[in-house]
Each structure stands twice: as C-alpha cells, then as structure tokens.
Structure 1
Amino acid sequence: MSNFKLSGYVKYLETQNFDNLSKSNLATHLLHNRLRFKWNVIPKMTIQAEVRNRVFWGTSVESNPYFVQYLSNSNDFLNLSAAWLEQSGWVGYSNIDRLFVDWKGKNQNVRIGRQRINWGISSIWNPNDIFNAYNFLDVDYEERPGSDAIKYQRNWENLSSLDVVYARTGKSGSIAAAKYFFNKWNFDFQAIAGKYQEVGTFGIGFAGSWGDAGLKGEIQHYLNSVSILAQTNATLGIDYMFSKGWYVSSAYLYNSLGIAEPLNFGQSINLNLSSRNLMPTKHNVLLMGSKQLSPLSTFSLTSIYAPGTKLLIGMPSFSYSLSNQMELNLFWQSFWMSYQSEFRSISNVLLGRIRWSF
C-alpha cells in the first residue's frame, strides 16, 4: 500500500442570477479543480493538504471590480491564497484550505494546521459550530471552510470525548474553546464553553431518536465584554425516513439579533452568513423533502421562511449520476420578501454543475 495518495475532482458550474429589482441578469462561469494530497509519514502520523484552483469569467466578473476580494475567507489567519489571473473579465484564484499534520494515538489525537473543525450536531443549522460556519447557499463548497488551529482530542471507552481547540481567525482575533461529548439515555450530548474573539460563549447540543424520527438541537450563547448575555442562537430539528424512500426534515432557527420586521425602502438583508449570523432574520423555519427517483437520480426541495421579515427562500435541486466518477446537478434558488409593503420575488438564481472525480 502506498504511503502517498492523490485524489480530487474537476467541476464546471454556471450561475445565472436574475435580479428582479434592478431588472438585470448576471452570469458567472466557474471551472473548479480540487487536489487532495495525503501522506502517511509513519503509522500514527499523516500530513494532508487540499488545494482549490478556480477560474471565473462572465458578466458578474466584468461588472464587479472587487470580485477577487469576495473570494478570500475572512476566517483565515495565514494567507494561503493567490489571484494569479485578473484581466479582461477573467479571474484565476487558488487557495489552500486544508494543510495539517495529524497524529493519532490509542485514545488521543492531535491535529495542527488548517483544518475543518466540525462541532455541529444538527442536520440543518449548527449554532455550536463556532469555528467555521458555512453558507448553505454556496452549493459548490461541500467541504466547507477550515480554520488555522491546534486541536487536541481525548477519547474514552464509554463513547465520551473531550476536544480542546485554539484557532486564529484573521484580523478578528482568536477562538479558544472546549467541547465535552457523551452519550446518555441513548442520546448524544455535547457541552461547549470558551472565548469567541473578544467575548465569552457557551452552549449545548443533543441528538437522538423520538420514536422512529430523529431529533436534534443546539443552542449557543454569546456574552458581551461585561459578561452579560448579548446574543443567543438556537435550533431544533426533526427528520423522518418513510418506507417508500421519501426523506423529510424540518428545523427552526432563532437568532436573537436577527431582523424581525419587514424591510424599509433602501434597506438590504445580509446573506454573508457566519458563526454568529447563521441567518440574518430572527425566526426561521425550514422544511425539506428528498426522494431517490432511481438508483441514479435524486430530487430534493428545501424552503426557508422567516416570519416578520417575510423572507421566503425556495431551493429545488436535482442530481443525476452519469457514471461512477461523473455527476450532473441542477439547483434553483428563489428569494421572496416583503419589500415596500409588497410581498414579491426579489431574485432568482439558476445553477448547473457537472463534476468528474478522480
């Protein structure tokens, strides 16, 4: 068995963005390559690196002089990105979003470097995922962002574990936290406490079964500089698999600092999602259903509604497996909102993608 492994994929993604307020249509073409390098140095130690290489072109690139700036991850402490092409409406951009050394002992694990720290336990929204939350509207980044961090994990035989993590987060400071995970009454529980940039944070999460349905929840509190509760993010979700192959799930998300009123003239909504801003609206309800139509194809429909703001997002998708290495995906994102006392369609996004893995 070789100690070195190379894998990855090549994808082409076309995005058509229809803005119904400005009556404009912007197109983005993306050629996306990912390379994964894994080297088993010794039986207990692995070095892993993953590189994203992307080339963008289209009217959205031509019309936005700050396009490159939006590609960088503000969570990164080390600058491992480079724009190597910026001319005539074309942008070439590469970044290393995984680069770590991993050591595994009998009951311990230490990982140092840029890594994905996944503390979320719920299926939809993850308030407990304080290190690197992801934007669910970004359908082309299934790996999700990483963090420049040091992580220590200790495991016990009763399915409990302790994670201690310190991460640097760009110009925003650092995140240092501990998570204790354990199983009780056939439920998984976790408790989290630490410091998020300049404020304290603590939370809990759980996952288990309620009859034949899955039940999951998370809550995360943030304190201000004088140890007074400043923000709470909480979610509760339930999912169920029917005998004929339909999978359905629903979830509720609460953001105490979110918008709860209809937008005024000229007011916009911030969909640049982060660990503290999982949704910009205070109350959010999600419903999702998916069905495997055949061994090669799957259809799903997701809807998110925010009462008060009256934001509605509809997201149908379809996937088809062309071969063991090639897949075709279609996505539609439709945004509706109460705007100037009228509930109307704000924008629509059509995405088509083909992917070849190796």
Structure 2
Amino acid sequence: MTIYALNKYRLLLLLQILCTFGVYAQDTTETHKTKKWELSGYFKNMQSAQFADVDTNWLFINLIHNREDFKYLPNEHWNFHIGLRNRIYYGESVQFLTQAPALFKSSNSFFDLQKIVARGPSYIIHTTLDRASIKYTKDKWEITTGRQRINWGQNFVWNPNDIFNAYSYFNFDYEERPGVDAIRIKYYPTATSTAELAYKPSNNIDSTIWAGLYRFAKGSYDYQFLAGWVNGDYVAGIGWSGVIKQAGFTGEVTGFFPQKNVGIKSTVISASAGLNYTFRNSLFLHTAYLYSSLGAGNINSAQGNILFSQVVSAKMLSLSRHSIFGEAAYQFTPLLRGNFSGIVNPSDGSYFLGPFFNYSVSDGVELLMGGQLFFGPSNSLYGGYGKFIFIRFKWSF
C-alpha cells in the first residue's frame, strides 16, 4: 500500500479524534437536557515486545487502538447501538499477524463488516463494526437483532455455556469481547428469572446456532439451563453461580452430541468451575479448572497456535484436556492495582504467567504494564511462544 494511502488514513483518524473532542465538549455543556444519544469509547497506545530469552533478539510491535460506541435512544422502547473498532499495527512483529486471520475477521460474522484499510510489510490498518444492533423493549419482553454480545457465561476465565461467542483469555486488550450476528428474544417471567431464545444464521447449516436458555434464582444461587443446536451438534448445558460460605462458586457444563452415532465416546464434554474470595484488605484470590474432552494430553505449540489464532469455541476452550488457573489481585493504593495470574497444563508441565499492574494517572487516563510469559519445552503446549511484555496508555471518554 502506498504512503499516500497511509497518510490518508492518518488524516481520517485525526478528524475522528477532533470530532470526538467536539462531541465530548458539547456533551458537557448539555447535561441539563435529557439525552437521546450517548457516545463513549477510548484511545489506546500499546507497545509490545516479544523475545525467547532476555539475551536474544527482541521483536517490537505497536498498536494504536480506537473505539467508538454510539447509542441512540429515541424513547424508552428503542435502543440503537453502533460500535466501531479501529486498529493500527506497526513494527517488526506485524509479519506474524498474517498467521492470525481471526484477529481481523470473526467466524461469528454473517455480514462482513470489517476491512483491512491498508497494509505493508511493517504495518496493518484495520477497522470493523463489532457492534451493530437494534433493541426493542416493552413490558417483560426484549428483542435484539444485529451484531451483539450474547453472554451466557458464568465463570471468569473459561465459559463452556458461551456457545455463541466464546473468547480467548489471552486477548486481554479486547475488553468488550467478540459479538455475533444474531437475533435474541428475552422474556422476564419474574424479577429473578429470564427466558431467552437466540438464533445465529449462516449460509451453512453446520455453522448455524440456535438455542434457548432459562435462568432463575434459588436460595443463594443463580442457575441456568440451555439446549439447542451448535455448528452441527445438539447441545445441552447447565451453569450456576453462588457462594460457599463467603467464597464465590461458579460453574458451567456443556455437552455436544453429534447428529449421528450418538454415544458416550462421540459426546464432547466441556466443563469448568471456579472459586473466588475477596479479603477485607481487598486481596482477591481466584482459582479455576477446565476439562475439555477434545483436548489432548500431549500437544505442542506448533500444532495449535492458541495465542495468535485467537480462535476458540465453547466446544474446545483449550487444546489440553486439563487446565488449572490461579489468580491473585491486590489494590495497593486507590490508584494502583496489581494482578498475577497463571495457567498450568498438568499433562506436560508447561505453564503461563501473566503479571499486570494498572495505574490510574488521572480521570479517564490509565497506564497498564505487564506481560504474558510462556514456559515449557518446545514440544509442550505453552513452550515455544517465548515472552511478551506490554506497556499501554488508555484514555477513556
């Protein structure tokens, strides 16, 4: 792509920033009026470095990430939502992004609302509409159509019940998480129960998803049951969230049953459970376990590029059969929070560590520093990736 195209996109991005400031300024002067629209979003600048060992060559990549969420609410019944995501990658590691098409185009998309605006050996400019929905609400009914997030998960890390739009834990920079082109109908029988029906269309029946969910409260627990059809399989699942004494307890189990040759050996089970506890001094501890019957005991990172592909599904949330997660977070000061997490594959002993620190610089501005560190032999699940460190500035509006 020519330098002219790159400069043209930079000009468009600059105009978008100026428009955002203009809208933000106008918003602060009209707080006395009842707003029928909302504009929010952020600008992020993240520098990343990748290396096998500290003494080896380092590869760098920079990501400029902009998000705009526009909502129009003409009355109490209608809600229009457009979410625009713009990303500019540049640096030495851009060459590896071509191995990860899912970073740019979601498999949940019926409509192609993304575009690589410009690309070169050392840069990629990409834009996408990851939210584009219309919601109608009246009495106990709610109908949403378009690109949306259907969140049926209960756990913090792995969500076997998230059959419409599962996400990768490693994709920490995408807080909104992926959406899906679907139609969803929700009904609230009582104040503590919900019934949902959702349908994701596709040109191929093996890529179609339709399912129903019923969620209700019983005692100190919320329960949910789901059933439907997911990419050629019948599915049934259960999820829960509650407390054991003062500790949070969540879990999800989903079974995938093939159309033909139904049996124990052909049934795929994806199950996860987690415990979390917050101490009075703000120390947060969290542990979780994932079982994936499709996972293998021995698999190397070259066979399944989990980090760069970002392709996961509720049917196969991990390439390993067993995964163990641990996390500790602490609020050191009102402005500084630290988080340390890890995942272990007990089958081959490889593991991942994720230390992060978040500092609030000012109102709406934050600094994030951290890393994603992979350890293990080259023929193990987490071996061969090396280490990644990040520093990110974010301004939210």
Which TM-score band applies after superposition, normalised by the shorter structure?
over 0.9
C-alpha separation between the residues in 2 aligned to 1:42 and 1:158? Answer: 23
Check whether the contact 1:107–1:155 (CA below 8 A) recurs between aligned residues. yes
Greater shift, 80-89 or 247-256, is seen at 80-89
Instruction: Specify the SS of the correspondent of 2:94.
Output: helix
Check whether the contact 1:122–1:218 (CA below 8 A) recurs between aligned residues. yes
The reply to whether residue 94 of structure 1 matches residue 94 of structure 2 is: no
Shift of residue 309, structure 1, vs aligned partner: 2.5
Q: Select 2:195's aligned residue among 162, 168, 175.
A: 162
Match for residue 25 of structure 2?
none
Amino acid at match of 1:294: T
Shift of residue 321, structure 1, vs aligned partner: 0.3
> Residues 5-46 of structure 1: CA distance to partner in whole angstroms, max 9, x if unpaired?
2111100011112145xx653221111110111101222101
Q: Select 1:303's aligned residue among 342, 347, 366.
A: 342
With the length of structure 1 as denominator, give the TM-score of the two structures.
0.93
The reply to whether residue 245 of structure 1 matches residue 278 of structure 2 is: no
Check whether the contact 2:373–2:388 (CA below 8 A) recurs between aligned residues. yes
Cα distance change on mapping 1:61 and 1:178 into 2, 3 Å? same
Cα distance change on mapping 1:4 and 1:267 into 2, 3 Å? closer
Check whether the contact 1:337–1:346 (CA below 8 A) recurs between aligned residues. no
> Residues 294-331 of structure 1: CA distance to partner in whole angstroms, max 9, x if unpaired?
00010010011111122200001000000111010012
Check whether the contact 2:59–2:92 (CA below 8 A) recurs between aligned residues. yes
Match for residue 260 of structure 1?
297
Shift of residue 237, structure 1, vs aligned partner: 0.7
C-alpha separation between the residues in 1 aligned to 2:158 and 2:95? Answer: 34
> Residues 80-138 of structure 1: CA distance to partner in whole angstroms, max 9, x if unpaired?
00111123522111000000000111111000000000000112211100100111111
> Residues 181-212 of structure 1: CA distance to partner in whole angstroms, max 9, x if unpaired?
01113211000100001111111001111101
Shift of residue 238, structure 1, vs aligned partner: 0.6
Over aligned residues, Cα RMSD in angstroms? Answer: 2.2
Instruction: Specify the SS of the correspondent of 1:122.
Output: coil
Which is helix-richer, 1 or 2? 2
Alignment of 1:226-237 (within 5 A): 226=260, 227-228=262-263, 229-237=266-274
With the length of structure 2 as denominator, give the TM-score of the two structures.
0.84
Match for residue 108 of structure 1?
141
The reply to whether residue 269 of structure 1 matches residue 308 of structure 2 is: no
Shift of residue 64, structure 1, vs aligned partner: 5.8
Q: Select 1:196's aligned residue among 230, 233, 255.
A: 230
C-alpha separation between the residues in 1 aligned to 2:152 and 2:215? Answer: 10
Cα distance change on mapping 1:6 and 1:300 into 2, 3 Å? same
Instruction: Specify the SS of the correspondent of 1:165.
Output: strand
Structure 1 consecutive aligned stretches of length 4 or more whose deviation exceeds 4 Å: 62-70, 169-172, 343-346
C-alpha separation between the residues in 2 aligned to 1:346 and 1:83? Answer: 26
Check whether the contact 1:72–1:81 (CA below 8 A) recurs between aligned residues. yes
C-alpha separation between the residues in 1 aligned to 2:305 and 2:347? Answer: 16
Q: Select 2:159's aligned residue among 96, 118, 126.
A: 126
Match for residue 284 of structure 1?
323
The reply to whether residue 214 of structure 1 matches residue 251 of structure 2 is: no
Amino acid at match of 1:11: K
Q: Select 1:331's aligned residue among 358, 365, 370.
A: 370
C-alpha separation between the residues in 1 aligned to 2:299 and 2:293? Answer: 16
Cα distance change on mapping 1:309 and 1:83 into 2, 3 Å? same
Shift of residue 268, structure 1, vs aligned partner: 3.0
Cα distance change on mapping 1:185 and 1:64 into 2, 3 Å? closer
Check whether the contact 2:378–2:384 (CA below 8 A) recurs between aligned residues. no
Instruction: Specify the SS of the correspondent of 2:74.
Output: strand
Match for residue 356 of structure 1?
395
C-alpha separation between the residues in 2 aligned to 1:144 and 1:64? Answer: 19
Amino acid at match of 1:105: K
Amino acid at match of 1:257: L
The reply to whether residue 4 of structure 1 matches residue 37 of structure 2 is: yes
C-alpha separation between the residues in 2 aligned to 1:99 and 1:73? Answer: 14
Match for residue 354 of structure 2?
315
C-alpha separation between the residues in 2 aligned to 1:67 and 1:270? Answer: 9
Greater shift, 55-64 or 273-282, is seen at 55-64
Amino acid at match of 1:244: N
Which is strand-richer, 1 or 2? 1
In structure 2, list runs of 5 or more residues that go unmatched: 1-33
Greater shift, 226-235 or 243-252, is seen at 226-235
* Aligned pairs, number: 354
Check whether the contact 1:287–1:302 (CA below 8 A) recurs between aligned residues. yes
Check whether the contact 1:133–1:274 (CA below 8 A) recurs between aligned residues. yes
Match for residue 87 of structure 2?
54
Check whether the contact 2:270–2:314 (CA below 8 A) recurs between aligned residues. no
Check whether the contact 1:327–1:355 (CA below 8 A) recurs between aligned residues. yes
In structure 1, list runs of 5 or more residues that go unmatched: none
C-alpha separation between the residues in 2 aligned to 1:267 and 1:243? Answer: 44
C-alpha separation between the residues in 2 aligned to 1:106 and 1:71? Answer: 38
The reply to whether residue 153 of structure 1 matches residue 192 of structure 2 is: no
Alignment of 1:170-181 (within 5 A): 173-181=207-215
Check whether the contact 2:134–2:144 (CA below 8 A) recurs between aligned residues. yes
